[in-house]
Amino acid sequence: LGTGELAWRRIAPGPRTPGEVVAMVVTSAVLPPVAVWHWVTGFRRALRLADQPPTAAVDAVLFDRDGTLVNDVPYNGDPALVTPMPGAREALDRLRAAGVRLAVVSNQSGVARGLLTPSQVDAVNERVAELLGPFDAVLVCPHGAEEGCDCRKPEPGMVLKAAAALGVEPGRCAVVGDIGADIGAALAAGARPVLVPTALTRPEEVQTAPEVVPSLAAAVDLLIGVGP
pLDDT at 64 over 80: yes
Confidence of residue 5 (pLDDT cuts 50, 70, 90): confident
Which pLDDT does position 228 carry in this prediction?
Answer: 47
Known catalytic residue: 72? no
Annotated catalytic residue within 51, 64, 93, 221: 64
Which pLDDT does position 227 carry in this prediction?
Answer: 52
How far CA 72 is from CA of 99, 117, 161, 181, 221, in Å, comes to: 28, 18, 24, 15, 24
Does this model's pTM top 0.85?
no
In the DSSP assignment, the letter for residue 53 is P
Phi, psi of 180 (to 5 degrees): -65, -30
Which pLDDT does position 42 carry in this prediction?
Answer: 64
Over residues 140-150, mean pLDDT: 96
Known catalytic residue: 93? no
Confidence of residue 11 (pLDDT cuts 50, 70, 90): confident
Annotated catalytic residue within 51, 59, 66, 78: 66
Span between the terminal Cα atoms of the chain, in Å? 44
Q: Which carries the bigger pLDDT value, residue 127 or residue 5?
A: 127
Phi, psi of 200 (to 5 degrees): -90, -10
109 Cβ contact list (under 8 Å, min separation 6): 141, 142, 143, 144, 145, 152
Confidence of residue 20 (pLDDT cuts 50, 70, 90): confident
Are 95 and 56 within 8 A, CB to CB? yes
In the DSSP assignment, the letter for residue 56 is P
Among 180, 112, 174, 187, residue whose Cα is nearest residue 143? 112
Among 198, 201, 139, residue whose Cα is nearest residue 166? 139
- CB count within 10 Å of CB 80 equals 9
Which pLDDT does position 23 carry in this prediction?
Answer: 79
pLDDT at 185 over 50: yes
pLDDT tens per residue, range 116-139: 999 999 999 999 999 999 999 999
Query: For all residues of the chain together, what is the average pLDDT?
Result: 91
Confidence of residue 45 (pLDDT cuts 50, 70, 90): low
pLDDT tens per residue, range 67-98: 999 999 999 999 999 999 999 999 999 999 99
